[in-house]
Amino acid sequence: GDSVTQMEGPVTLSEEAFLTINCTYTATGYPSLFWYVQYPGEGLQLLLKATKADDKGSNKGFEATYRKETTSFHLEKGSVQVSDSAVYFCALLGGGSNYKLTFGKGTLLTVNP
Report the interface residues with another protein, using CB under 8 A.
Answer: 32, 34, 36, 38, 41-46, 49, 51, 87, 89, 93, 98-101, 103, 105-106, 108
Exposed, middle or buried by CB within 10 Å (0-12, 13-18, 19+), for 52?
exposed
Q: Taking the complex as a whole, how short is the minimal distance between the CB of residue 41 and another protein, in angstroms?
A: 8
Task: Name the E strands within 9-96.
Answer: 11-14, 19-21, 23-26, 32-38, 44-50, 56-59, 62-65, 75-77, 86-93
CB-wise, 51 or 79, nearer to another protein?
A: 51
The secondary structure element, H or E, covering residue 6 is strand 3-6
CB-wise, 62 or 89, nearer to another protein?
A: 89
CB-wise, 34 or 73, nearer to another protein?
A: 34
CB-wise, 49 or 74, nearer to another protein?
A: 49
91 near 99, Cβ under 8 Å?
A: no
Q: Taking the complex as a whole, how short is the minimal distance between the CB of residue 86 and another protein, in angstroms?
A: 11
Q: Which amino acid is residue 112, in one-letter code? A: N
Q: Taking the complex as a whole, how short is the minimal distance between the CB of residue 79 and another protein, in angstroms?
A: 25
Q: Taking the complex as a whole, how short is the minimal distance between the CB of residue 55 and another protein, in angstroms?
A: 11
Q: What is the rounded distance in angstroms from the CA atom of residue 30 to the CA atom of residue 67?
A: 11
